[in-house]
Structure 1
Amino acid sequence: MNSRSDLRREMRDHRRALSDSQRARLSECAAACFGRHRLFRSARRVAGYLPNDGELDPTPLMGLAWSMGKRVYLPVLSHLRSDHLLFAPYAPGDALRENRFGIPEPVVSLRHMIDPKALDLVLTPLVAFDERGHRLGMGGGFYDRSFAFLRRRQHWLKPHLVGMAYGFQRVDGLPHQPWDVPLDGVVTETGFPPTRR
């Protein structure tokens, strides 16, 4: 198995090598697969993300969420705790500004943001994943710190963390750390297999 940094570099290169039309087609396929699933259909507060660095695009699913009357949120780096995420309401056309990593975030006041515990479903970006729901992110640890409460799953039944990835991002036996928060499943262009924990 490659080191986490080697694997991260390899998968990011592979993602970026896709054409815009390939990304769009694969993202639409993923949305069609997951848009019918009960986790998506029953969720009222859905967090997505704006794709960056060749990531699978969740905006088709976000569009479906809006059409179904769901509330959609995007992650925002917390000004109170710079190593955690808060979630801001988002709709098409809302004002955005880039955070310190160059990723667009909604421009809203703190009082309109919600805590991760208030979400029903979180569409999670990733670089690689395995069949047990282990996720390799970009290396900042923001999602793991923000959703650390889910490691004590007996007390928290939501939100459900669902990774968004291309099928080629799946690897066997991803190395993981005790603080990593596993996913409930990963949506790819071919379906939504739940994880085996």
Structure 2
Amino acid sequence: MIESAGLSRAQLRRLLRQRRRALSISQQRQAARRLYRQLAQHPLFRRSRHIALYLPNDGEIDPQLLLREAQRRGKTTYLPVLNAWPATRMVFQRIRPGERLTLNRFRIREPRPNHARQRKVWALSLLLMPLVGFDPHGGRLGMGGGFYDRSLAYRARRKNCQKPTLLGLAHECQKVDRLELASWDVPLQATVTDRAWYGEEDRRTTAPHSLRCQSKR
């Protein structure tokens, strides 16, 4: 675990990105299998019907085993899609097995934008989020673009709407003792690594969240 005292967010990002990039292909594959075992049989994953994930980039832990498992079980799965305009906006779009993907401006694979297949973030059941660093208290350090924080900013305004459940996914080596959160940072319910769970949504419980978020889709 990294001691964050005296390190800026930029310094932490640089250090933690170096750590996950340093993992070998074999270590990455092993971490992906362990992550799958941590989540695939958890009641939270089993009960969720609309699950958004991501495709790994820059050494991020790989959730594609979970993506395929969710699709095998008949769940509806989504990937983030960056808007061309406004450029700071991100949406979540349904993805089907074998669907062809394209590269966005960050060279990350995503579906071709199709508004009819997009779902409001508050209508998702579970959002599995990438991160650069995390602490055991729900803190998340992202890449700095703010895409997820902007997408989830409604949670600060709509206290009765805490969907979807937010789980960060990470390698154990990305753990920090404590992160200083900015006013716009959205805390996680838990972070799941290849080794353990950290946070209120631990491996034994599935604390219910409000279902009063309204959506027509």
> Is TM-score (shorter-chain normalized) higher than 0.5?
yes
The one-character-per-residue Cα deviations of 1:126-178 (angstroms, maximum 9, x if unpaired) are 00001111100000000000011123463213101100001111111112101
Higher-Rg structure is: 2
The runs of 5 or more residues in structure 2 that have no matched partner are 202-217
Question: Where does residue 94 of structure 1 map in the other structure?
Answer: 99
2:9 corresponding residue in structure 1:
4
Length-normalised TM-score, structure 2: 0.86
Residue in 2 aligned with 1:175? 180
TM-score, scaled relative to structure 1: 0.94
Report the CA distance shift for 1:67/1:24 in structure 2 as closer, same or farther (over 3 A): same
The amino acid that maps onto 1:138 is M
SS of the equivalent of 1:76 reads: strand
Give structure 1 stretches of 5+ with no counterpart: none
Q: 1:63 aligned to 2:85?
A: no
Partner Cα distance (2:120, 2:196) in 1: 29
Please tell me whether the aligned partners of residues 75 and 88 of structure 1 are also in contact (alpha carbons under 8 angstroms).
yes
Amino acid corresponding to residue 42 of structure 2 in structure 1? H
TM-superposed CA distance for 1:60, in Å, is: 1.0
Given the alignment, which residue of 73, 81, 84 partners 1:76? 81
Give the secondary structure class of the aligned counterpart of 2:196. Answer: coil
User: C-alpha separation between the residues in 2 aligned to 1:178 and 1:108?
Assistant: 31
Contact between 2:52 and 2:128, CA under 8 Å: does it hold in 1? yes
Which AA in structure 2 matches 1:66? Q
The corresponding residue for 1:110 is: 115
Shift of 1:111: 1.9
Q: Is the 8 A contact 2:137 2:198 kept in 1?
A: no
Contact kept? 1:131, 1:195, Cα under 8 Å: no
- 1:60 is paired with a residue whose SS is helix
Correspondence 1:190 to 2:198: no
Structure 1 Cα separation of the partners of residues 26 and 155 of structure 2: 36
